[in-house]
Structure 1
């Protein structure tokens, strides 16, 4: 088991605490539940006063959580969402009734964890996840939505039993931790399932490992195309149906429609636990209201700029499809990625769509150098490399015409750096 040494300095504010947490563990990612579970037991962590929804998947977690959150709050059901990573502020990771948790709330939680953990080593993510749980215990919202950070089975959020689980999509990402096949990754995501509890599976072609695990533990699966169905209507709207309910004339979504469809199934199940009333009109209101920072987020900044945190092949395929639909005469792409990502297959879907590439090196330890990313673009029309993504974006702005699009993608870090320039 990894060791970390307790610091002797007094940490007075959130910034000092986060700096401490970034430096006390010798690895950034260390999967496993034994460490966090032991500290959680010492702290008597208990979220059973809330209905817990746990959301896992390769893509679509954040947008699914946002749709669920908006629907619950619109009907005065108190709701908290825990997610990661953040884009601008650490406090974004925990919002309660749409308000970010305060610095003081986190600091108080960190102090309790530090006093309770003894010699047990915790990663930054484990430590901050425990802190979120302590804040949630104190606020006790009606519903808690937990977004899994990595995988599912061994993710820190999985020490909490989900009343309803949602698995969005399964594709290749984080292969070093989760396996290099969809079946293996599906098994890891399936770890959030619980016996006799519902799990919504939104992937339109789910790996068999999901059904096998649900059967093995006695979970109650709801599969897309089988237990809930989406159809396009003649008017261009769409309808959602299950054996219990049907909602028609649903409008176009700002976030991926597949994620909305899965979230509706979750809400349909949740209506048996909360005073929640669904209708086509209500769902359309939530569709219109749900936009998420860094997910096909559009700005006008001399020309149109779209930010998207997509950083794996599945996300890139979706992104390429959406950009093609917009029919811009010329697309400029600003790209920065982490070295442990599948760069070649993430870039490939966008090569036919993007005319000019501006590649920057992210200022984080796991970053891929710009010239390394460029080697996967041998068939690209024009490629320029920069020391950072801000320089890359500046050059894209100088070259783009008013009718062009600048697409910024590849990592949460890429979007965060450029979003600060736009907001």
Structure 2
């Protein structure tokens, strides 16, 4: 099959390649760097031409990457971001100077990998990560920002030695692969740290396993509330400072403030001439698809890819704050999740702010059935409607909502993707 596909590869579109990649490996997730490392060696993967920032964490990776990217671009730097998963198009996974790479660039990279891997089996994610590296070697941007897909130590992005390692937050998620407690999960994420290199920690109280690993490697740790500080003021502004920089009267961001604060710590390591007015402007401008993304349809519709208890707690706080400001009459939630997530804890974080639930099944291999979500909400005695499709759940929510209501769509990248295309 492999040789036949390769011999006709010039005829195949990107979508056909992606379908082929899905069939190559027995598991969707198969952590480890041995197989991909061998293929990377054969391809002579080398990103040493760029400054590499690798971002790991349970939540906040995408928004942290986006703010670093936006600020570097505002200073006329060339910047690439590799992230996953995508919301609508596969090409979103690699953008250079905020432009998604072309189908042809990805296909060309796939052909090289197919020739090099021979009998080595790669997962979809490993294959696509190598493709991103090959495209980057051609484009050679000054800065490369790598968002870790899962964990850190054994993630495909960890083939590359980071100049700056960033860990946003650590909480329970992906326990089947990373461990059942915060310290164990944190140790996996700390695997992106390199000896004697810079490490930015976005939490005020990082896990002990992260600190121990960083100390063992003699990494240069920049930790919140130790090396940089954040103050939130009552007049909807906030301040950030460290020993070299101070930025006051910063506006409230469109993305989580904690992630912006972490990103600023990275920016101050990269740019010596960043100003308060430049930062303030970038904070106003930076928005990320699917992260508390607000649309105005019949009523306000908010999309968020949050899919674990930590993300749900942030959503609850965000909605409560905005509900007071905008004065929503009712809040409707359209939710669909993957079966391997902590569905019960995630949904129940939000039961106090949601007036009406519309839960749906996800039609992917790992998708949870609507009835599973409904069962999780039953103890809270919430008002719940079940649907076979996310689109149907959303349409019912729209039909029930008033112009002064909010519809929250959340639970998975798949959930957001289903509705975002309708809103666009």
C-alpha displacement at 1:248, in angstroms? 1.1
Tell me if the contact between 1:228 and 1:241 (Cα under 8 Å) persists in the aligned partners: yes
The answer to whether 1:309 aligns with 2:310 is no
C-alpha displacement at 1:236, in angstroms? 3.6
Counterpart of 1:421? 422
C-alpha displacement at 1:79, in angstroms? 0.2
> Partners in 1 of 2:113 and 2:274 — Cα distance?
40
Counterpart of 2:368? 368
Matched residue count: 415
C-alpha displacement at 1:102, in angstroms? 0.5
Counterpart of 1:176? 176
C-alpha displacement at 1:7, in angstroms? 5.1
> Partners in 2 of 1:233 and 1:94 — Cα distance?
37
> Partners in 2 of 1:329 and 1:353 — Cα distance?
11
Map 1:151-300 → 2, pairs under 5 A: 151-233=151-233, 235-271=235-271, 277-300=273-296
Q: Quick one: structure 1 residues 323 and 233, their matched pair in 2 at CA, closer, same or farther if it must change by over 3 Å?
A: closer
Secondary structure at the residue paired with 1:282?
A: helix
Scaled by the length of structure 2, the TM-score of the pair is 0.96
The answer to whether 1:386 aligns with 2:387 is yes
C-alpha displacement at 1:363, in angstroms? 1.1
> Partners in 2 of 1:137 and 1:252 — Cα distance?
37
Q: Quick one: structure 1 residues 353 and 7, their matched pair in 2 at CA, closer, same or farther if it must change by over 3 Å?
A: farther
Counterpart of 2:61? 61
RMSD: 1.0
Unpaired stretches in structure 1, ≥5 consecutive residues? none
Secondary structure at the residue paired with 2:377?
A: coil
> Partners in 2 of 1:380 and 1:127 — Cα distance?
45
C-alpha displacement at 1:393, in angstroms? 0.4
> Partners in 1 of 2:322 and 2:70 — Cα distance?
27
Tell me if the contact between 1:313 and 1:346 (Cα under 8 Å) persists in the aligned partners: yes
Map 1:54-133 → 2, pairs under 5 A: 54-133=54-133
Tell me if the contact between 1:238 and 1:249 (Cα under 8 Å) persists in the aligned partners: yes
Counterpart of 1:45? 45
Secondary structure at the residue paired with 2:231?
A: strand
Tell me if the contact between 1:351 and 1:380 (Cα under 8 Å) persists in the aligned partners: no
Scaled by the length of structure 1, the TM-score of the pair is 0.97
C-alpha displacement at 1:50, in angstroms? 0.4
Tell me if the contact between 1:163 and 1:197 (Cα under 8 Å) persists in the aligned partners: yes
Secondary structure at the residue paired with 1:165?
A: strand
Could you tell which deviates more after superposition, 7-16 or 185-194?
7-16
> Partners in 1 of 2:3 and 2:355 — Cα distance?
51
> Partners in 2 of 1:112 and 1:414 — Cα distance?
33
> Partners in 2 of 1:335 and 1:402 — Cα distance?
20
Q: Quick one: structure 1 residues 322 and 380, their matched pair in 2 at CA, closer, same or farther if it must change by over 3 Å?
A: farther
Q: Quick one: structure 1 residues 236 and 323, their matched pair in 2 at CA, closer, same or farther if it must change by over 3 Å?
A: closer
After superposition, the C-alpha distances for 1:66-120 in whole angstroms (9 at most, x for unaligned) are 1011001111100000000000000000000111110010000000000001111
Unpaired stretches in structure 2, ≥5 consecutive residues? none
C-alpha displacement at 1:206, in angstroms? 1.2
The answer to whether 1:320 aligns with 2:316 is yes
> Partners in 2 of 1:255 and 1:234 — Cα distance?
19
